[in-house]
Structure 1
Amino acid sequence: MIKWTTKELVARLEKFCESPEGANARISLAVPMGFGSNPNTSFDIRKIDLVPNTIIGAKEKYRLIIVIQEL
């Protein structure tokens, strides 16, 4: 499990911004099943990926997906 610091998160996002695809990607949050059932649940970022956008008709060609997991 990765424990992200603010500095590490910003550095990772800056790397994505180095390419036009990453800089212009739409951001999505991938949440675990049952998200929201317990409002006091905290989450960690598990990973961040740049993936092709498969949504038909979307302007953005790529999505930056932030995957979270329960603490």
Structure 2
Amino acid sequence: MSVTPPSLPSYEELAAVVVELKLLMSARAATIAEQAMRIAELERQVASDSRNSSKPPSSDGLRKKPAPKSLQ
């Protein structure tokens, strides 16, 4: 029983795959950049509270308030 090896792709087929992969990578890079900007914005929003923004204290939620710096 003789098994013939699969034929290798042609140069044109390989070139088409390279072009397709470059387009896919470019699209992925754009998606990553958009997501990085979105993450930065969300982190900025999470970090803001009534002490460092114009939000009212009631919007701070149920987080534990920081301890006073001095008891005097």
TM-score by length of 2: 0.22
Relative contact order, higher structure (CA 8 A, sep 6+): 1
The two structures have a TM-score, normalised by structure 1, of: 0.22
Higher helix proportion (structure 1 or 2): 2
